[in-house]
Structure 1
Amino acid sequence: MTHAQRPAGALPGYAEHFDEPEGYLDFARYGPPSRAVLSATADALARSARADHDTVNDLMRAEPAARDSAARLAGSDLAHTVLLPNASTGLFHAAFGIPTGVVLVPGTDFPANHYPWRRTEALGRAVPRWLEPDERGRITADLVRGALTDDVVALAVSAVDFRTGFRLDLAALREVIGPDRLLIVDAIQGFGIADLPWQAADVVVAGGQKWLRASWSTGFATLSDRALERLEPTLTGWTGVEDVAVFDDAEHPPSAGAQRWSITNLSPVTAAAFAAALAIVERATVPAIEAAVAARLDELTDAVRSHGAEILSPTTPADRGGILSFRLPTAAPATVAKALHAHGVTPTVRATSLRLSPHASTRPAAAARVRAALASLR
């Protein structure tokens, strides 16, 4: 395909890594992995099946490679980055690291950012104070400013709202809470497709199964110096301590860096998958991926709006992630979903709305499928 023939917003070479169906629009729930991820997974498993004296050590080399890539994408470094099996593990580490005080948490956030704080409150540690969003369902710097009191020690938010795709202004939130409070960010709905200032946060956690397309049991966290200083290593395991390979029956001090969040060795198979997935993101670059996603979102927005849909997501590029939420006043979400399925479209279906989430590999033909599906409802 020549440059003149290439669809608006297309990212050259990116789509060739993937095989998801043309109408797959559910990346906010799960991102089908690339052929490179499948190959890395199969190769690591095959090597483990023929294990010899070098195999385990060789397979373990995928972990620092994945850490290094994640660190670069987050604007951090190896010492401040740790691999995790999922985003929730990172949120629990952060929550249990705060010994006391109030943590501001959006009351409408995804439950992964609720339960860690409910558990700390039950144990007499950090206490959540639930933030109600503004009239448009958004968490803004002004809203946070109005909720700040002297006993607030941290703010824990999602970088991108899972319902609407609203993108939080992390830099503004950092400025509002000041240098004496921690900013904890669940980045799973934005990392890899949204060029956000991750360095503004003290803790960034993300799972790799959505936009990073590394499949399940992959993820990471980055910790700032302030987080390393203030968060107690409550959940540190045997792999999160100094002199990890010295088995002397003594308690070792926690690692000086982010590795203190390690509980035990993770699978080198999933680490290989994560490294392969992150390498594709780095080669493509996040700004280029973001631009491609934005072009697909514009097409999908036009498609649903042309059939009378109520748009629940922001339409300004600066305010949105990769999610388009909508509802049709004339049809229940389940009915709309049935029509979409019949036309080969995979959305997220909620009780009162639907969510379309394209990626940089999504073709413009996906919007045509959506148009045809909604037209069939008439």
Structure 2
Amino acid sequence: MSMSGPTPHDDALASYQASFSEARGFLNFASYGPPSHAVRQRVTHLMELAADGGSGTNDTLYGETVRARESFARLSGFPVGNVGLTGSTSLGLFQVAFGLTGGSVLVSAGEFPANTYPWLRSRAAGRARVELVGGPGTRMTPDVVARSLTPDTVAVSVSAVDFRTGYRADLAGIRAVIGADRLLVVDGIQAFGVADLDWTQADVLVVGAQKWIRAGWGAAALALSPQGMERIEPLLTGWTGVTDSGRYDGEEHPPLPGAGRFSLSNLSPYATGAFAEALALIETVGVPVIEGVVAAQAQALGDHLDAAGVPVLSPRNRPEAAGIVVAGIPGRAAEAHAALADAGITATLHGEDRLRLSVHATTRSAAFSEAAAVLATFA
């Protein structure tokens, strides 16, 4: 009888998991993801290089932007020339919103504010208008989108995973109902790195580094389809987003041909270095493997909450579920949140009735029973 040993996937996953050391009770990845040892070491190395100021330091520091773009391109499926970097998801969405003119953009009124304010400000500036649909908790399903489209709709902006409910959007279904002529703008910050999605359904994909990618703050990727590149003007761009940016002749230079045209200025090499390192770590194990573990972790947490009599308000079936598990604590969520903190468990309070818990591939399963035991007293 033959004995099967660890597979390469098992070894890669074990190595990935060993790269992190967050507290056992950390259930807050939808807020931010604690970086890996590799990310911390890379940032320290880059800081030491900058402190020494040796020959070639600038090339190394700003070369981190290239590493991050190349890794993001491989993980997202976009050509590297169509991938640029910006400072945050919010900034990227502002650049997209101000780059559209004419027509209206369909957005859920229940979106995280980072995906509503850019469109509101763009409307106020006389650019594209915004049509807000539904309210908190609205799921942007293909049916909801289809019913809300008008002949004036030029784009639809959605989150790949909803921050409030954990609902995973059907990007292919939305793409099908809006057709090829409208732009699909996707905020991927609550999904990229842990959800194996076809990101190329989007005409614009904006992803900050600090949540599930686990790279900290200060960098985000902005990827565009050929149609997105053609129709979104680089209105909010800067001197690093133009040709011959090192030629200081007092003239306005034309935008760069690729997604680099949306660059405002040089980003912190520590932020881009952290981004590049975190993306490279994801590549060592692969998103499908990480997604499988996250799904199992979320299911296990939901099962513990079920057993404790705590209502689970987030999706439970795999196609719609992500790593977010929402517990319903009517009228006592703030008390429950404080009790979790006292027990060493980190989660997010959402109003008076809901707590958001979110798991990653590195989450310790012991935290599930501990969280459920605390919340059982409030259910």
TM-score, with structure 1 as normaliser: 0.94
Structure-to-structure mapping, 1:56-67, within 5 angstroms: 56-67=58-69
**Offset of 1:246 from its aligned partner?**
2.1
Alignment: residue pair count:
371
What do residues 121-157 of structure 1 show as CA deviations (whole Å, max 9, x unaligned)?
A: 11111110011169x7311111111111111100011
Q: Matched residues in 2 for 1:179 and 1:104: separation?
A: 15
1:153-192 matches, cutoff 5 A: 153-192=154-193
For residues 56 and 318 of structure 2, the distance between their equivalents in structure 1, rounded to whole angstroms, comes to: 49
Tell me the residue number matched to 1:281: 282
Q: Which amino acid aligns with 1:293?
A: V
Q: Output the amino acid matched with 1:308.
A: G
Superposed CA offset, 1:14-57 (max 9, x none): 22001101110000001000011110111111110110332112
Does residue 126 (structure 1) correspond to residue 128 (structure 2)? The answer is: yes
State whether residues 101 and 127 of structure 2, in contact with CA within 8 Å, keep that contact through their aligned partners in structure 1: yes
CA distance in 2, matches of 1:150, 1:248: 45
CA distance in 2, matches of 1:117, 1:194: 26
Q: Which residue does the alignment assign to 1:209?
A: 210
Cα RMSD (Å): 1.9
Residue 235 of structure 1 is matched in structure 2 by 236
Per-residue deviation, residues 272-321 of structure 1 (Å, max 9, x unmatched): 11111111111111111111111110111011112222221000010011
Match of 2:333 in 1: 333
How far has the Cα of 1:174 moved from its partner?
A: 0.7
Correspondence list, 1:343-362, <5 A? 343-351=343-351, 352-362=353-363
Aligned-partner residue type, residue 341 of structure 1: A
3-state SS of 1:220 partner: strand
Residues 329 and 378 in structure 2, CA contact (< 8 A), matched pair in contact too: no
Structure 2: gaps spanning 5 or more residues: none
| Percent of matched pairs sharing the same residue | 46
The amino acid across from 1:94 in the alignment is V
For residue 125 of structure 1, give the secondary structure of its aligned residue in structure 2.
coil
**Any conservation in 2 of the 1:11–1:292 contact (CA below 8 Å)?**
no
Counterparts of 1:26-37 in structure 2, within 5 Å, are: 26-37=28-39
Whole-Å Cα distance in 2 between the matches of residues 269 and 143 of structure 1? 41
Judge conservation of contact 1:90–1:221 (CA < 8 Å) in 2: yes
CA-CA distance at 1:3 after TM superposition:
7.0
* 1:372 to partner: Cα distance: 3.0
Structure 1, unpaired ranges of 5+: none
Alpha-carbon distance in 2 for matches of 1:376, 1:108: 30
Q: Verify the 8 A CA contact 1:25 1:357 in the aligned structure 2.
A: yes
Kindly indicate whether residue 111 of structure 2 is the aligned counterpart of residue 102 of structure 1: no
| AA partner of residue 335 (structure 1) | E
SS at 1:153 equivalent: strand
> Partner amino acid for 1:17?
S
Write the deviation string for residues 256-275 of structure 1: whole angstroms up to 9, x where unpaired.
Answer: 11001101111111111111
Displacement of 1:328 after TM fit? 2.9
Secondary structure at 2:14 match in 1: coil
Q: Distance in 1 between matches of 2:82 and 2:104?
A: 25
Alignment of 1:221-370 (within 5 A): 221-329=222-330, 332-351=332-351, 352-370=353-371
Residues of 1 paired with 2:369 and 2:248: CA distance? 61
**1:248 shift after superposition:** 2.2
Q: Distance in 2 between matches of 1:96 and 1:80?
A: 19
2:307 is aligned with what amino acid?
S
- Superposed CA offset, 1:168-190 (max 9, x none): 00011111111111000000000
Query: TM-score, normalization: structure 2?
Result: 0.94
Quote the residue 2:89 is aligned against.
87
For residues 197 and 301 of structure 2, what CA distance do their matches in structure 1 show? 23
- 1:375 to partner: Cα distance: 4.6
Between 1:186-195 and 1:331-340, the stretch displaced more is: 331-340
Q: Per-residue CA shift, 1:86-109, capped at 9, x if unaligned? A: 101110111001111100000100
Task: Report the alpha carbon displacement of residue 338 of structure 1 after superposing the two structures with TM.
Answer: 2.5
* Structure 1: distance between partners of 2:126 and 2:338: 47
Contact 2:69 2:84 in 1 (8 A): yes
Query: How many angstroms apart in 2 are the aligned matches of 1:356 and 1:119?
Result: 31
Distance 1:11 1:68 in 2: 22
